[in-house]
């Protein structure tokens, strides 16, 4: 299990002479094996932040550290894995899903005959029949593809998993089972989890701590229950009022007193 520490992380996009700061000196830490939820409206910089933490979006400044550099402790080879919103877009349509998971298994350090066995085990671990290995993404449902993407990410044995809107593109009927899967796997494997969503109910379900992102900055951070029941920042209050909640009642906030 590894602590994730992000310090002053900055992401800028340039188009022509125009520069846009998508992530503006963001700092946070997540305890080893803990879960941080990041919420914010569309365009607030959540996906850019996730990409920067995962090392797939170039940063204009700041630092990401994973784990303590204790003597003798070797960091895993692919410390951060990300599962994205679009289950079809994140899988190669021409590749059998078993081969996609095999990529993750190899990234996790296994080779040879062990790979095929591990692929079957991962398919079962995410609730799919091992025979699904020969299917292409186009022949599977969105929920099944998202399970494949989760299996591929976890097979790489990451220290940190970033779940970026992983249920937004799924039918409501399968959203809960995918969230349950992520929660169960985290309990079993102990990875540190960052859950990005515009849906407060999803974040509340998975994350004990919550950070609110607005125009590239973190405007609020605290225990999820505290932030949702007594938001300090006006933007957080407006977010709580604006987002519909799946099942259950919305926690009381200042904005509810009308």
Ligand X SMILES: Nc1ncnc2c1ncn2[C@@H]1O[C@H](COP(=O)(O)OP(=O)(O)OP(=O)(O)O)[C@@H](O)[C@H]1O
Give the footprint of ligand X on this chain (CB under 6 A).
13, 20, 22, 40, 42-48, 198
For 74, 112, 115, 161, the CA distances from 119, given in Å and listed in that order, are 25, 12, 6, 19
Closest distance to ligand X from the beta carbon of 43 (Å): 4
Q: Which is nearer to ligand X, 24 or 157 (CB)?
A: 24
Closest distance to ligand X from the beta carbon of 135 (Å): 28
Q: Which is nearer to ligand X, 123 or 213 (CB)?
A: 213
Closest distance to ligand X from the beta carbon of 72 (Å): 37
Closest CA to 155 of 128, 120, 181: 120
Which residues is 30 bridged to in the sheet?
A: 4
* CA angle centred on 88, ends 36 and 165, rounded to 5°: 20
Q: Give the integer Cα–Cα distance in Å for 80 and 76.
A: 9
H and E: helices and strands count for the chain = 8, 9
CA torsion sign, 249 to 141 to 177 to 50? negative
Query: Cα-Cα-Cα-Cα dihedral of 219, 222, 227, 231, to 10°?
Result: -40
Closest distance to ligand X from the beta carbon of 117 (Å): 37
Closest distance to ligand X from the beta carbon of 128 (Å): 27
Q: Which is nearer to ligand X, 13 or 88 (CB)?
A: 13
Q: Give the integer Cα–Cα distance in Å for 140 and 136.
A: 7
CA torsion sign, 12 to 51 to 246 to 159? negative
Q: Which is nearer to ligand X, 123 or 239 (CB)?
A: 239
Q: Which is nearer to ligand X, 46 or 78 (CB)?
A: 46
Q: Which is nearer to ligand X, 162 or 206 (CB)?
A: 162
Closest distance to ligand X from the beta carbon of 133 (Å): 31
* C-alpha gyration radius of the chain: 19
């Amino acid at each position: 299990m590894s602590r994730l520490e992000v310090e002053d992380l900055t992401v800028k996009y340039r188009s022509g002479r125009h520069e846009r700061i998508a992530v503006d000196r963001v700092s946070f830490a997540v305890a080893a094996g803990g879960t941080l939820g990041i919420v914010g409206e569309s365009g607030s910089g959540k996906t850019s932040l996730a990409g920067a933490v995962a090392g797939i979006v170039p940063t204009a400044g700041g630092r990401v550290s994973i784990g303590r550099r204790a003597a003798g402790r070797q960091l895993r080879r692919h410390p951060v894995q990300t599962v994205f919103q679009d289950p079809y877009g994140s899988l190669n349509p021409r590749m059998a899903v078993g081969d996609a998971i095999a990529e993750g298994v190899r990234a996790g350090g296994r080779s040879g005959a062990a790979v095929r066995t591990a692929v079957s085990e991962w398919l079962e671990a995410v609730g799919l029949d091992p025979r699904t290995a020969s299917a292409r993404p186009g022949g599977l449902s969105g929920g099944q593809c998202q399970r494949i993407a989760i299996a591929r990410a976890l097979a790489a044995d990451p220290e940190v998993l970033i779940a970026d809107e992983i249920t937004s593109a799924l039918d409501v009927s399968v959203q809960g089972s995918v969230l349950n899967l992520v929660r169960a796997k985290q309990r079993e494997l102990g990875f540190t989890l960052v859950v990005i969503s515009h849906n407060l109910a999803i974040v509340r379900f998975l994350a004990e701590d919550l950070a609110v992102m607005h125009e590239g900055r973190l405007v609020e951070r605290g225990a999820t229950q505290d932030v949702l029941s007594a938001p300090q920042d006006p933007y957080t209050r407006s977010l709580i009022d604006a987002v519909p909640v799946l099942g259950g009642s919305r926690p009381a906030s200042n904005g509810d007193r009308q």
